[in-house]
């Protein structure tokens, strides 16, 4: 097995036994990036010096007997997560040269745990998109088929793990931006409950929906990373004051006694037959592991989630992105007057999808339309949340597709925003309700990965991780690697 195939659990065990040094492990990943990233293009910035220095520091900590699951393990961060002294671009021309002056709380926590930063990964500009094609710099390619998208918006983070360029990565998920690319790239992706992980230092897109979460190869690794980054943070008043359990210790055992529901609305029209078949097989596997499955659950307001999301998220985005005025930081264009300068800065600094959403959000919040669009959407959001409340009174978790399709071709949906928006139809409702969701590799369709989505109660990540872990103990899908990995 190559070093770049290791999981966190495997790598940290070998580091702990001192069979392998963090510098060797890090160098293996830097070499891997040098070999494959010209094709995959997962990274916006690679930080070899920072990585090797952190690895050497981790080796010193290991040498004096310190141990920890992330100590000396190389990782990468979506380029929307602030890193002090390392440029953080959001894959936007607006922040192409922006260098944060502080670390995000998740970064502070990972550094303290001994994490080694390999670099910053590509994304749809300001996390708006489902294919990574909205990056202002270049698209990322799916390691399973370089002519296809990795999904988005955290496409670089998903592709990096799939291609063996990092053992784990962090992404952010506002409407599916961790789970959908995880599904399309055949890796594990977790969106924690809203408030579980601090958003301090995460460049804001839609503040009532955004959450940071991990990409890994196994569910066990996702549990390890979540435990390291979760918890109340005084710098984020929306982070929840809820105890963080030992997620890794909660793994294990079969699924006897668990009640699972399959929401029928998630098996949408237009779902690919291969995806449908793989998912039904995966859910039958969960039944075989002892879970009780109700195949006929209804979340009746699901069909309204897309409209709610595309009113609420752009509205919040239009307010959050008002800060890019060309004065304090970021791109700045010149014009004869202050207002013209601001309009030109924003007109040239933002790409088409970001502009579209700013326009949509500004419209929905503007006088005369606020009640009809924004307020109406927030009321329907209540109905969607109630659907989940009622379902979770009867079931311990819900299981559904992550994406109705496998990875689509680059360019296929680029000129049709509505078609692009539909690729998140199975993930959006989870953010709207604020609950947690996990995508786990669950088979192949036409040689491309399919993801099973496991949806959990608020702050009950432990149950969905336990289900995903049991599934991975019984199946081999997560051990498959794209052909690229042997290139």
Task: Write out the DSSP string of 240-295.
Answer: -------TTTT--S--TT-EEEEEGGGS-TT--HHHHHHHHHHHHHHHHTT-EEEE
Binding mask 58-97 for another protein (x = CB under 8 A): --------------------------------------xx
- The whole-angstrom distance between residue 406's C-alpha and the CA centroid of its chain comes to 17
Stretch that binds another protein, among 183-191, 218-226, 348-356, 438-446 (CB under 8 A): 348-356
Closest approach, Cβ 129 to another protein, in A, equals 14
| Per CB under 8 A, 328 contacts another protein | yes
Which positions from 196 through 235 interact with another protein, judged by CB under 8 A? 208, 234
Select 414 or 450, whichever has its Cβ closest to another protein: 414
246 binds another protein (CB under 8 A): no
- Sheet strands side by side (includes 436-445): 43-46, 116-121, 74-78, 168-173, 211-216, 188-191, 436-445, 448-456, 397-401, 259-263, 292-297
Q: Is 476 in the site for another protein (CB under 8 A)?
A: no
Residue bearing tokens 């995880």: 182
Q: Rule CB under 8 A: is residue 325 a binding residue for another protein?
A: yes
Q: How far apart are CA 439 and CA 450, in angstroms?
A: 9
User: Please, which of residues 420-449 interact with another protein by CB under 8 A?
Assistant: 421, 433-434
- Pick out residues in 448-467 that bind another protein (CB under 8 A): 458
> Which residues are known catalytic residues?
78, 153, 177
Task: Check binding of 326 to another protein (CB under 8 A).
Answer: yes
Nearer to another protein among residue 181 and residue 314 (C-beta)? 314
Please tell me the distance from the alpha carbon of residue 165 to that of residue 450, in angstroms, as a whole number.
21
43, 166 contact by CB (below 8 A):
no
> From the list 13, 99, 268, 485, which residue makes contact with another protein (rule: CB under 8 A)?
99
Residue among 362, 322, 368 nearest 342 (CA): 322
Residue pointed to by tokens 């669950």: 442
- Name the segment binding another protein (CB under 8 A); options: 59-67, 159-167, 297-305, 477-485: 297-305
Segment 359 to 388, residues that bind another protein, using CB under 8 A: 359-360, 362-363, 366-369, 371-373, 375-383, 385
Residue 317 is a binding residue for another protein (CB under 8 A): no
Site for another protein in 184-203 (CB under 8 A): 194-195
End-to-end Cα, the chain, rounded Å: 14
- Residue 460: CB minimum distance to another protein, A: 14
Contacts of 462 (CB under 8 A, 6+ apart): 245, 247, 250
Q: Which is nearer to another protein, 187 or 364 (CB)?
A: 364
Q: Pick the stretch among 50-58, 119-127, 308-316, 405-413 that binds another protein (CB under 8 A).
A: 308-316
Q: Which is nearer to another protein, 433 or 438 (CB)?
A: 433
Given 112, 338, 483, 487, the residue binding another protein (CB under 8 A): 338
Query: Which residues are CB-contacts of 450 (< 8 A; sequence separation ≥ 6)?
Result: 183, 274, 275, 278, 279, 401, 406, 441, 442, 443, 444
CA distances from 304 to 325, 371, 429 (A): 34, 17, 9
Say whether residue 237 binds another protein (CB under 8 A). yes
Tell me whether residue 58 or residue 311 sits nearer to another protein (CB atom): 311
The CB-of-282 to another protein minimum distance in angstroms stands at: 28
């Amino acid at each position: 097995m190559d070093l770049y195939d290791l999981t966190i659990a495997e790598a940290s065990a070998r580091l702990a036994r001192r069979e392998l040094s963090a510098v060797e492990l890090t160098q293996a990943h830097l070499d891997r990036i040098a070999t494959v990233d010209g094709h995959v293009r997962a990274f916006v910035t690679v930080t070899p010096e920072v990585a090797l220095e952190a690895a050497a520091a981790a080796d010193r900590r290991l040498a004096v007997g310190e141990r920890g699951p992330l100590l000396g393990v190389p990782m990468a961060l979506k380029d929307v997560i602030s890193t002090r002294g390392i440029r953080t671009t959001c894959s936007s021309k607006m922040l192409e040269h922006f260098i944060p002056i502080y670390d995000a709380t998740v970064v502070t926590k990972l550094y303290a745990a001994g994490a080694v930063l390999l670099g910053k990964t590509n994304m749809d500009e300001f996390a708006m998109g489902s294919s990574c094609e909205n990056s202002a710099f270049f698209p990322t390619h799916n390691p399973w088929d370089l002519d296809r998208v990795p999904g988005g918006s955290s496409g670089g983070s998903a592709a990096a793990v799939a291609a063996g360029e990092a053992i784990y990565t962090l992404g952010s998920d506002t409407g599916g931006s961790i789970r959908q690319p995880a599904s399309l790239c055949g890796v594990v992706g977790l969106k924690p409950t809203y408030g579980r992980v601090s958003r301090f230092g995460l460049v804001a897109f839609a503040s009532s929906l955004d959450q940071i979460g991990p990409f890994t190869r196994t569910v066990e690794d996702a549990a390890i990373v979540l435990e390291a980054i979760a918890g109340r943070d005084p710098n984020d008043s929306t982070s929840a004051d809820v105890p963080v359990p030992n997620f890794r210790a909660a793994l294990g055992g079969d699924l006897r006694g668990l009640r699972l529901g399959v929401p029928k609305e998630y098996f949408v029209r237009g779902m690919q037959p291969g995806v449908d078949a793989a998912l039904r097989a995966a859910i039958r596997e969960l039944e075989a592991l002892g879970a009780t499955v109700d195949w006929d659950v209804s979340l009746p307001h699901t069909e309204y989630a897309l409209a709610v999301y595309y009113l609420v998220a752009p509205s919040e985005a239009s307010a959050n992105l008002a800060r890019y005025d060309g004065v304090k930081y970021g791109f700045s264009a010149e014009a004869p007057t202050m207002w013209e300068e601001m309009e030109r800065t924003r007109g040239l600094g933002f790409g088409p999808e970001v502009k579209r959403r700013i326009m949509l959000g500004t419209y929905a919040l503007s006088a005369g339309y606020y009640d009809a669009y924004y307020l109406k959407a927030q009321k329907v959001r209540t109905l969607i949340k109630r659907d989940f409340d009622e379902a979770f009174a009867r079931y311990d978790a819900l299981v559904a597709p992550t994406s109705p399709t496998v990875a689509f071709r680059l360019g296929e949906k680029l000129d049709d925003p509505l078609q692009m928006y539909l690729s998140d139809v199975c993930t959006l409702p989870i953010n709207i309700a604020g609950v947690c969701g996990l995508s786990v590799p669950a088979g192949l369709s036409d040689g491309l990965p399919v993801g099973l989505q496991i949806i959990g109660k608020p702050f009950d990540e432990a149950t969905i991780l336990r289900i995903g872990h049991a599934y991975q103990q019984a199946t081999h899908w997560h051990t498959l690697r794209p052909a690229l990995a042997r290139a």
